[in-house]
Amino acid sequence: MTRLTGGLIDREKPLDFTFDGRSYSGYAGDTLAAALMANGVDLIGRSFKYHRPRGVLSAGSEEPNALVTLRDGARAEPNTRATVAELYAGLTARSQNHVGSLERDLLAVNDLLSPLFAAGFYYKTFMWPRTFWEKLYEPAIRRAAGLGALSMEPDPDAYDKGFLHCDLLVIGAGAAGLMAALTAGRAGAKVILADEDMRPGGRLLAESDLLNDAPAHEWVRAVRAELASFPNVRFMPRTTVFGVYDHGIYGAVERVADHLPTPGDGVRQTFWRITAKRAVLAAGAIERHIPFADNDRPGILLAGAMRAYANRWATLPGRAGAPVAVFTNGDDGHRTARDLVAKGVPVLGVVDTREDAQAFGDYEVFRGATVTGTRGRRGLRAIQITRGATATWHDVGALGVAGGWNPNVHLASHHRGRPVWKADLLAFVPGADGPKGLFPAGAVAGRGGTASALADGVRAATTALADIGMTAPKVALPEASDVPHAQAAFWHVPGKRRAWVDFQNDVTVKDIALAHTENMRSVEHLKRWTTLGMATDQGKTSNIAALAVMAEQTGQTIPGTGTTIFRPPYTGVSLSVLGGGDTGKHFRPTRLTPTHDWAAAQGATFVEVGPWMRAQMFPRAGEGHWRETVDREVTAVRSAVGICDVTTLGKIDVQGADAAEFLNRVYANMMATLKVGRVRYGLMLREDGHLYDDGTCARLGEDHFVVTTTTANAGAVYRNMEFARQCLWPDLDVQLISTTDAWAQIAVAGPKSRALLERIVDDTDLSNEAFPFMACAALTICGGLRARLFRISFSGELAYELAVPARYGHALMERLAERGADLGVTPYGTEALGVLRIEKGHATGAEITGQTTASMLGLGRMVSAKKDALGAVMSRREGLAAEAWRLVGLKPVGGDGPILAGSHLFTEGAVRTLDTDQGWVTSACYSPNLGRHIALGYLEHGDTRMGERIVAANPLEGQEMAVEVVSPDFVDPEGVRLRD
């Protein structure tokens, strides 16, 4: 391993790692890219389209080339940028996008065929025949031109999400960001300082310039210590603020454990939503390159990145001892040459496009010259320098390219703010139409010199705090200076060979020219035709160069050519962390009924009903098939007594002097006339006249009702009733509260239900005379427990629902089971509940679909014509009133077998078309009481077609069955039992 002197790596802590199975060693503080470079590994991957050998281009998150698959197995993470992957002990990485070895990629043949693969090639070539696209062309192309592959295994790590609030969010901990945080910290403001790097400092860590006559990292350390001493400042390293959202909300991802050998011990990443009163954007700038012939070889990198590798990580690409060159259009490239000379690196010289270039130190300057070619198949070996008509080849190991710096305007443009071109800087800076409360500072604002950036951080923080009424103290700046940064508007070296603009997507200057020739004149069209800027790096290093090339084609200025729109995220964000751990079981809360544990102890199986887990059935030993269980439970309810938890139905407590009037306006049928101590079935309509929900209304007092909703609509009905109360009729004296979770409710159903309840209730006469069908009462049970009893029936049997405070639900279930043992009491689940209600023709969600009218259920007359209510006017409109479908019962004729729910109904012999379609089957089951399969469905004019033979058909599967139209009330149609 070869290292230069100095650097911010910990040479006391060597770390072993592997790349493509080979073992290497680096130091704590290295990135994978730095460690590979120090081990002489410059070839890291293959390009997307042409499979060209590629190495490191940058030293940051803008990296387009050095993408690897990090880790193994389920944790394998493709397309990870080696330039930001922090080295840890035992790191394993693999190169991507090659067939055979990385060194001898078989698909490198694509590079020889490159004349075929120009921009728009796919669109033009694979047009015909059309059906071949999906089955043949696209899969083949995707296989050939892909990057890393997913592990296809579930992510084993934990992710979290959280909310943070602050007065000032400082994005970026470079010179400007640190000063902004320091200023706000000293002012006593609540500050969050976030930076994507593993340590604060930004470019200060990459430069050799002194602060207070000492290396800059020493000043950074002191500032970091002071910030740590403030309880009001939170520094978040390894945290990328990736997006700006409305009203000062920022999205950020903190990589909590990505840098640890095993990220799975705690949370791997956290998704933060940061609400900041104000923010300072100090995200720095990204260096751009200058396209020239064959500029994509390993060993050619950005000059600023070269400086960062030398100064921060004490390493350089290229063969040991080989000279290094710099190609620049401005002063900045000379900083690299100066620093390398200081480190004792042999420098061939600086190729400067300007005739009047000044050297920063003792090295040769090739003035008015350009780099016009390179050699070296797997790594740079030589460059061609051209001045006027003279071209000479020079052996080099590495070349730094300095094309100027692009302020990191991304976040400032997330609300469609348009960056503004600064001709003196040859760069875009944030415009005035950026997100409210976001203050650009330092290099982002075009003030990237060290002294300028430091001062600008103080200015931005002071301005931002003043905006929220806080006063910042005077903060002394460290001694620093701005290095000269004159620059020429030189964008690319013209030539016949390919010159890469976008490395990751293999877009060259020629491709952009071709796009222009083919009339892709808008920058958005250019982007889509060539795929420039559309790779995982989103063109961070290529977009401006592309605009410059395009401007040259169109004869326009660069700002006249435009910019593409920036959208979040700034860098890639994993879906796992956006989910914040809300996966699998944690996707949403699971609601358990009060008798859940009791049911589980009885061996119940459970089913998801909305957010609830409900007991589906209670299988007993020896029951081999689920239907044996359901048939037994149904039979028990019809012959003895069954108990079932119905807590999940929504319950809304309605109180107030105008409660009756309010319910009268909310329910389609008359509610004001309901007597105290009685229950009424209620239909609720949407304002468009369709059926919305059904339930029961129990009047416990003159000004006190309890209404129920279906399980699915509990939340929506409550919301809608609050809408009616607050937005339509705020003058009614009525209050609502949802009590679904406050009361456990148990259905006790069957001919022996009264006998069972008489053993439970305290001193209440349950005789048919004293407590008839549709009676209700508040009473006590089990020696003083307050309860509510409703004599209502979903099963069609003599039945009650008994409610107790939720914490007693479990005990009540136990007590009912124990006291009813000799009566044959049987717990039943949702399956039996479904069979019981189908046997009675009662509607549920399968029938009340949102397109159902009251008439379709045969309940048209319930919609009162004497009063107004939600949906009443619209329910009478012609189209709805003429709806011909009616709920009917169906049973098979000529044998028995299951009727398929979803089948459509036709008259016998009719052609199966939409025109002859007469309805459909909504629910179906086996009825143990009838000893046959039955179903419910909607049939045109069904109420007048009893006894008719029709066909239930499923043309998709070629199934059909002859069925007879019968009453939907299959069991006890006279309703004797429930009134008994």
Partner 1 sequence: MLIPHPLLGARDAQEFTYLGDASLMDRPDPNGPEAEAAFCDYVFLRDNPAGVHRELWFHEQGDRSWLVVTRDTVTHEILGAELARDVKRGAQT
Residues in contact with partner 1 by CB under 8 A are 163, 245-249, 275, 415, 436, 687-688, 715, 719, 722-723, 726-728, 730-731, 868, 872-874, 876-877
User: Whole-angstrom Cα distance, residue 206 to residue 217?
Assistant: 9
Residue in the block written with tokens 């930001």: 84
Least Å distance, CB 913 to partner 1, is 30
Least Å distance, CB 469 to partner 1, is 16
Rg (CA), the chain: 38
Please state, in angstroms and as integers, the Cα–Cα distance from residue 910 to each residue in 868, 905, 906, 915, 938, following that order: 43, 10, 6, 10, 18
Using DSSP, state whether 392 is helix, strand or coil. Answer: strand
- Dihedral sign of CA atoms 971, 972, 973, 979 in order: negative
Least Å distance, CB 613 to partner 1, is 22
User: Whole-angstrom Cα distance, residue 343 to residue 314?
Assistant: 9
User: Whole-angstrom Cα distance, residue 3 to residue 30?
Assistant: 12
Tell me whether residue 276 or residue 953 sits nearer to partner 1 (CB atom).
Answer: 276
Least Å distance, CB 38 to partner 1, is 47
Tell me whether residue 373 or residue 580 sits nearer to partner 1 (CB atom).
Answer: 580
Least Å distance, CB 776 to partner 1, is 26
Beta partners for residue 949, in sequence order: 964
- What's the 3-state SS for 817-832? HHHCHHHCEEECCHHH
Least Å distance, CB 246 to partner 1, is 4
Q: Largest Cα–Cα distance of the chain, in whole Å?
A: 116
Tell me whether residue 226 or residue 467 sits nearer to partner 1 (CB atom).
Answer: 467
Tell me whether residue 724 or residue 838 sits nearer to partner 1 (CB atom).
Answer: 724
Least Å distance, CB 437 to partner 1, is 12
Tell me whether residue 265 or residue 868 sits nearer to partner 1 (CB atom).
Answer: 868
Least Å distance, CB 190 to partner 1, is 15
Tell me whether residue 12 or residue 731 sits nearer to partner 1 (CB atom).
Answer: 731
Show the CA angle centred on residue 221, arms to residues 215 and 224, nearest 5°.
145
Tally Cβ neighbours within 10 Å of residue 366: 22
Least Å distance, CB 728 to partner 1, is 5
Tell me whether residue 661 or residue 687 sits nearer to partner 1 (CB atom).
Answer: 687
Least Å distance, CB 545 to partner 1, is 33
Least Å distance, CB 231 to partner 1, is 24
Tell me whether residue 104 or residue 877 sits nearer to partner 1 (CB atom).
Answer: 877
Structure tokens, 119: 């921009």
User: Whole-angstrom Cα distance, residue 187 to residue 115?
Assistant: 61
Tell me whether residue 247 or residue 496 sits nearer to partner 1 (CB atom).
Answer: 247
Sheet of 679-685: strand order equals 679-685, 691-701, 704-709, 650-655, 735-738
Tell me whether residue 246 or residue 765 sits nearer to partner 1 (CB atom).
Answer: 246
User: Whole-angstrom Cα distance, residue 531 to residue 504?
Assistant: 10
Least Å distance, CB 860 to partner 1, is 17
Please state, in angstroms and as integers, the Cα–Cα distance from residue 519 to each residue in 475, 506, 522, 659, following that order: 55, 20, 9, 70
Tally Cβ neighbours within 10 Å of residue 897: 11
User: Whole-angstrom Cα distance, residue 49 to residue 843?
Assistant: 59
Least Å distance, CB 726 to partner 1, is 5
Residue in the block written with tokens 């330039």: 83
- Dihedral sign of CA atoms 615, 620, 622, 628 in order: negative
Structure tokens, 48: 């997307």
User: Whole-angstrom Cα distance, residue 90 to residue 92?
Assistant: 6
Burial class (CB in 10 A: 0-12, 13-18, 19+), 271: buried
Least Å distance, CB 163 to partner 1, is 8
Tell me whether residue 64 or residue 650 sits nearer to partner 1 (CB atom).
Answer: 650
- Residue from 842, 821, 840, 826 nearest 630 by CA: 826
Structure tokens, 757: 């309840």
Least Å distance, CB 737 to partner 1, is 9
Tell me whether residue 22 or residue 866 sits nearer to partner 1 (CB atom).
Answer: 866
Tell me whether residue 218 or residue 582 sits nearer to partner 1 (CB atom).
Answer: 582
Tell me whether residue 249 or residue 962 sits nearer to partner 1 (CB atom).
Answer: 249
- Residue from 254, 266, 76, 78 nearest 157 by CA: 266
Tell me whether residue 109 or residue 881 sits nearer to partner 1 (CB atom).
Answer: 881
- Residue from 663, 667, 644, 661 nearest 653 by CA: 663
State the DSSP H helix or E strand holding residue 393, giving kind and residue range, or none if neither: strand 390-395
CA dihedral of residues 122, 125, 131, 132 (deg, nearest 10):
-80
Tell me whether residue 275 or residue 764 sits nearer to partner 1 (CB atom).
Answer: 275
Instruction: For residue 136, give the DSSP letter.
Output: I
Tell me whether residue 284 or residue 871 sits nearer to partner 1 (CB atom).
Answer: 871
Enumerate residues 6+ apart whose C-beta is below 8 A from 733: 656, 657, 658
Please state, in angstroms and as integers, the Cα–Cα distance from residue 512 to each residue in 184, 335, 393, 530, following that order: 46, 32, 28, 7
Tell me whether residue 597 or residue 868 sits nearer to partner 1 (CB atom).
Answer: 868
| DSSP character string of 957-971 | TTEEEEEEEE-S--S
Least Å distance, CB 633 to partner 1, is 36
Least Å distance, CB 594 to partner 1, is 23
Least Å distance, CB 719 to partner 1, is 6
User: Whole-angstrom Cα distance, residue 440 to residue 453?
Assistant: 11
| DSSP character string of 15-81 | EEEEETTEEEEEEET-BHHHHHHHTT----EE-TTT--EE----SSTT-SS-EEEESSGGG-EEEEE
Residue in the block written with tokens 């991304």: 410
